[in-house]
Amino acid sequence: MNRASHLGVMMVLVLAAACAADVPAPPPTAPAPSSVPSVAAVRATPRAVSTIAVAVAPTLPPIVVTNPLPSVTPWPTLPFPTEDPISLATLTAIAAMPPTPVATETPPIVTPCVAALPEPIEEQTAAAVQRFEHGLMFWLQIRNEIWVLIDSPNAGQFYWHSYPNEWIEGQPESDPAIDPPPGRYQPVRGFGVTWRTRSGVRDDLGWAVQEEVGFNTTLTYYPQGFYSPDCVWLPKSGIYELTDPRGLVFRFTGEGGVASIVTSNE
């Protein structure tokens, strides 16, 4: 580029600066520039060779939303179920309520049976008795039984048991191997079999203190029991009584139980 060209460019720049200084500033209330680009005319001196166009940034129009987003529909507010409050007084009243009475059947009226009690039964029988160190034995022919009476701590009372008479006529009457001490006796026949073979009898009674004595007596039985509502007799163990050769009355309660000595029938 030659010197003349450089000088030309410099002159253009100087003239542009001078023109910018001569243009007054717009007042504060001046309207805003329009959105259409404008071209400012630049004064040129006779030496100006061209016009410079200054572009002003346009004002963008507002954005218009043509497809708005759908509005959100709120969830409906559901009412929560509520329960009626129960007061303490109500609970107390419920607890204090008495139970509903249940109808009960009236029991039938039972007319007691007026039938007479069974009469005592008296039987004559042959018998035998033998006294021992700690009790005595009775044999009753009518029942063919041996009744063993063992002393109790109470005077005049005994524990008694009945056993069948197991001695048969023709068997040995005693055991020759048994030798009683002086003044004592080995029981014989039915008494001997029971004394030797029944568990505990020999130890409980000890030796006999006299020989057996036969006699006749009356065995009296007193029925015990009760009548049912329809007058049926329901028996239970009764009471026996007999009198020994000395005139003592023995009373036996139940089929094996307690025996006692009484002076007379009661």
Residue 207 in any domain: the answer is yes
Residue 40 in any domain: the answer is no
Do 256 and 125 share a structural domain? yes
**What's the half-sphere exposure (Cβ side, CA atoms, 13 Å) at 162?**
15
Task: Measure CA 264 to chain center.
Answer: 58
Residue whose entry in the numeric block shows the structure tokens 């036996």:
252
pLDDT of residue 245 exceeding 90: yes
Cβ atoms of residues 146 and 139 within 8 Å: yes
% residues pLDDT > 90 (the chain): 45
Residue 60 in any domain: the answer is no
pLDDT of res. 24: 52
Q: Annotate 75-86 with DSSP letters as a single string.
A: PP-PPPP-----
pTM of the model: 0.56
pLDDT of res. 115: 66
Cβ atoms of residues 265 and 241 within 8 Å: yes
pLDDT of res. 98: 67
pLDDT of res. 48: 44
Q: Which of 265, 237, 261, 264 is nearest to 250 (CA)?
A: 261
Residue 99 in any domain: the answer is no
pLDDT of res. 87: 61
The residue range of the domain holding 222 is: 121-262
Number of separate domains in the chain? 2
pLDDT of res. 36: 44
Residue 193 in any domain: the answer is yes
Q: Average pLDDT, stretch 98-111?
A: 69
Average model confidence (pLDDT) across the chain:
76
More confidently predicted of 264 and 229: 229
Rounded to a whole number, what is the distance in angstroms from the first to the last CA of the chain? 176
Cβ atoms of residues 146 and 163 within 8 Å: yes
Residue 137 in any domain: the answer is yes
Q: Average pLDDT, stretch 93-120?
A: 69
Please report which residue ranges of the chain form alpha helices under DSSP H.
3-22, 88-95, 189-197, 201-205
Residue at which a domain ends, from 28, 54, 80: 54
pLDDT of res. 38: 46
- Contacts of residue 132, defined as CB under 8 A and 6 or more positions apart, other chains included, come to 187, 205, 206, 207, 208, 209
pLDDT of residue 234 exceeding 60: yes
Do 13 and 141 share a structural domain? no
- Contacts of residue 148, defined as CB under 8 A and 6 or more positions apart, other chains included, come to 135, 137, 160, 161, 162, 163, 194, 198, 201, 204, 205
Do 255 and 135 share a structural domain? yes
Residue 142 in any domain: the answer is yes
Over residues 7-30, the pLDDT tens digits come to 555 665 655 555 454 545 555 544
Q: Average pLDDT, stretch 180-199?
A: 97
Over residues 128-178, the pLDDT tens digits come to 999 999 999 999 999 999 999 999 999 899 999 999 999 999 999 999 999
Do 156 and 49 share a structural domain? no
Residue 91 in any domain: the answer is no
pLDDT of res. 82: 58
